Amino acid sequence: MSEPLAIEPVSPHLLRSLREHAHERLRRAIVAGNFRDGERLNERHLADLLGVSTTPVKDAIRKLESEGLVRTEARRGVFVEFSARQALEMALGRAALESVMAHIAANRITAEEVTEISRLIDDMAHATDHSELEDLVILNETYHGAIHRISGCSYLERRLDGQRMYDHAQRIALLAEPAERRQGFIEHQGIFTALKAHDPALAEQRMRSHIVRSAKSHVRQVFGADAEGLAYDE
């Protein structure tokens, strides 16, 4: 029998740099609507809020700029660049890609992969029923990732890389709402049913409908009246 460890391993989240933590928190705050589109960000104020120096904040802002969530204007400062229209466009782009991947996955899925996703659905049901938000976010991303992998569409998956940060933050915001958790689970069940039945057209339609509906909910949640009048693509 092996002897117990003399020291516990370091938790992975502690290995992340201050820059990464600052970036994640600022990104999540922007996507959650805590800062409005066009609002000027003060680096010193942000550093005070985060409890860090301005150095990781500056690094985080540079990364946010590369992601298109802020813009820097010479001699004026840093401004949030996240509107209802931009949020919707990002989600519609994701819907277009992921619906195609679901279509292809429905043709390719094996019996073993059906069993794999069935277990994920069971775990998601438990997390939904018990309001285990952190677990549900992870399971949600694992579920979509499994469909990506089954589809074999590595090119399309790479196209999604640029907005994973938005998808993750959106899930955290949406899944905090009980009604949204339940509706999302029902939709994931429906997508799985189509995959299991090897029905590519239905899998594609249900994936697209799920992502677009979630996007509408998130835009309304974050932007409220500012989201009215946008042309939603059904």
Contact between 69 and 81 (Cβ < 8 Å): yes
Query: Residues 75, 91: one domain?
Result: no
One domain, residues 49 and 160:
no
User: Residue 186: which pLDDT band, with cuts at 50, 70 and 90?
Assistant: very high
53 domain-assigned? yes
Domain assignment of residue 4, yes or no: no
pLDDT at 61 over 90: yes
**Do residues 126 and 62 share a domain?**
no
Are 112 and 220 found together in one domain?
Answer: yes
| Strand pairing class (70-73; 40-41) | unpaired
Q: Which two tokens stand for residue 40?
A: 């000027």
The answer to whether residues 150 and 105 touch, using CB atoms and an 8 Å cutoff, is: yes
Last residue within a domain, chosen from 80, 97, 123: 80
Whether residue 120 is found in the same domain as residue 32: no
Tell me: the pLDDT tens digits for 144-164?
A: 999 999 999 999 998 888 677
Instruction: Please state whether 33 falls in left (phi above 0), alpha (psi between -120 and 50) or beta.
Output: left
On whether residue 151 sits in a domain, the answer given is yes
Which residues are registered as beta bridge partners of 81?
A: none
pLDDT at position 148: 97
Between 222 and 58, the more confident residue is: 58
User: Is the pLDDT confidence value at 218 over 70?
Assistant: yes
The total domain count for the chain is 2
Q: Is it the case that residue 172 has pLDDT exceeding 90?
A: no
The pLDDT of residue 182 is: 94
CB atoms within 10 A of CB 165: 19
Query: Is the confidence at residue 5, as pLDDT, over 70?
Result: no
Confidence of residue 11 (pLDDT cuts 50, 70, 90): low
CATH number at residue 194: 1.20.120.530
Pair 146, 133 in one domain: yes
pLDDT, one tens digit per residue, over 190-205 is: 999 999 999 999 999 9
Q: What's the pLDDT band for 234 if we cut at 50, 70, 90? A: very low
Identity of the amino acid at 121: I
pTM of the model: 0.77
Read off the pLDDT band of 168 (50, 70, 90): confident
- Angstrom CA distances, 173 to 30, 90, 137, 151, stand at 11, 16, 10, 28
117 and 221 fall within a common domain: yes
Question: 134 with 64, same domain?
Answer: no
Say what the pLDDT of residue 156 is.
93
Residue 175 lies in a domain: yes
Mean pLDDT score of the chain: 87
- Identity (one letter) of the amino acid at 63? K
57: containing domain: 12-80
Whether the predicted pLDDT of 232 surpasses 70: no
Assign 15 a pLDDT band (cuts: 50, 70, 90): very low
- Block residue for tokens 């401004």: 79
Residues 39, 33 contacting (CB under 8 angstroms): no
Residues 100 and 198 in one domain: yes
Per-residue pLDDT tens digits for 129-140: 988 888 999 999
* Residue 142 sits in the same domain as residue 220: yes
207, 120: one domain = yes
Closest C-alpha to 212, from 98, 86, 91: 91
